Amino acid sequence: MKSFKFSCGSVCLLLIFTVLMATPAFAQRTITDQLGRKVTVPDKIERAVILQHQTLDIVIQLGAADKVVGILEKWQKYLPGAAKCIKNIDSMATPGGLDSVNMEALLALNPDVVFVTHYAPKEMIEQITNAGIPVIGISLYAAGYEEASKLNPELKDADKAYNKGLNDAIEIIADVFGKQERGQKLISVIAANQKILKSHLGNIPEAKRVRCYMARSNLRTYGRGKYTSVIMERAGGVNVAAADIVGFKEVSMEDVLRWNPEVIFIQWRHRSAEKQLVGDPAWQEVSAVKNHKVYICPEYVKPWGHCLPESMALGELWMASTLYPEKFKDVDLNALVQSYYKEFYGIPYKK
């Protein structure tokens, strides 16, 4: 009897081991992130932590928010609209931010994967990786590691880098969550709307392009290498700051007066700055203020350094139609916006 029990036990153990090894939970695959790192992730993601607001936005649009168990600190500042799409977001764990992580809080969430921004410190990425958790870096622009890991990159062809970078980011994130079909749908809508933009805008000579400036409550603005500059160029404008600065920097009032922009844009999250700027005597000599051409960008434009799907699909069209309304008379932008928000956010767009 003892011999029989031993043999039966051995067979049972062998069978259990074989079944476990064949279980999909053990399946893994390798993904290359936007820092050029090879990252091995589980085939099926059930628990994701996202420490970058751009990735969180894309995850929502891909319909994968139900797999998110932790998000970045200060998400209310960077992506306030997320509260409209994730019902329990106010009670969700925040184990870190753009440049730091609380490992104790992170480990308590038992994540399958962690998404970080491309300029997250190496030490932060190593700390998470050394704990056995896959880490994926997302930049939203295509570049080698040296530039891809910077907050303010120097991009030789920023227009091309952001187009490819956004598509790559969507495909990477969609692949991780098994949302490839929806990811391709998102990419196709962006491409279709950009086609509308280009066909209506046409080729505007450099000398006839509207001179633009992106303002906020202080004198920090965006120059070369940032999507904020690219979106103005795609809309048929010229970013006056791009000739002198790279990245996100503080300028002087003398710089603004010298540039003398014809149009000033203010980001939605800094909309309270409009009254301050228009009421400031120092700005009264600027052409845009004189001619009452100071515009608050709708929330879907999001032109603060990084591109996002709705920025390319909707924001570029909005900005172009603001600069050249006569060229877009037959484009029902509101219909495109509502269609996009219902398709990818599951809600109507409301200001």
Q: What is the pLDDT of residues 227-245, one digit of tens each?
A: 999 999 999 999 999 999 9
- pLDDT exceeds cutoff 70 at 5: no
Phi, psi of 239 (to 5 degrees): -80, 110
- DSSP labels, 118-165: TTS-HHHHHHHHHTT--EEEE-SS---HHHHT-SS---TTHHHHHHHH
Is 176 within 8 Å of 46 (Cβ atoms)?
Answer: no
Determine the straight-line distance between the first and last CA of the chain, rounded to whole angstroms: 77
Q: What is the mean pLDDT of the chain?
A: 91
**Residue 148 identity (one-letter amino acid):** A
Q: What's the whole-number mean pLDDT along residues 18-26? A: 47
What whole-number percentage of the chain has pLDDT above 70? 92
Phi, psi of 195 (to 5 degrees): -65, -40
Indicate the fold that domain 195-344 takes in CATH.
Answer: Rossmann fold (3.40.50)
Q: How far is CA 36 from CA 142, 144, 145, 147, in A?
A: 10, 8, 7, 11
- pLDDT exceeds cutoff 50 at 300: yes
Report the C-alpha gap between 202 and 188 in whole angstroms.
21
Q: Identify the band that residue 249 occupies on the pLDDT scale cut at 50, 70 and 90.
A: very high
Q: How many residues does the chain have?
A: 351
Q: What's the whole-number mean pLDDT along residues 77-89? A: 92
> What is the per-residue pLDDT for 14?
43
Q: What is the pLDDT of residues 125-174, one digit of tens each?
A: 999 999 999 999 999 999 999 999 998 888 989 999 999 999 999 999 99
Q: What is the pLDDT of residues 174-193, one digit of tens each?
A: 999 999 999 999 999 999 99
Q: Identify the band that residue 305 occupies on the pLDDT scale cut at 50, 70 and 90.
A: confident
User: Which region holds residue 302: left if phi is over 0, alpha if psi is between -120 and 50, else beta?
Assistant: left
Report the C-alpha gap between 141 and 179 in whole angstroms.
21
Q: Positive or negative CA dihedral for 250, 255, 257, 260?
A: negative
- pLDDT exceeds cutoff 70 at 15: no
3 state DSSP class of 108: helix
> What is the per-residue pLDDT for 276?
87
β-bridge mates for residue 72, sequence order? 96
Q: What is the pLDDT of residues 114-126, one digit of tens each?
A: 999 999 999 999 9
CATH architecture for the domain at 24-181: 3-Layer(aba) Sandwich (3.40)
Q: Where are the domains of the chain?
A: 24-181, 195-344
Q: What is the pLDDT of residues 40-73, one digit of tens each?
A: 999 999 999 999 999 999 999 999 999 999 999 9
Does 24-181 match 195-344 in CATH topology? yes
Q: Hey, which of 10-19, 89-98, 265-274 has the most confident mean pLDDT? A: 89-98
Is 77 within 8 Å of 12 (Cβ atoms)?
Answer: no
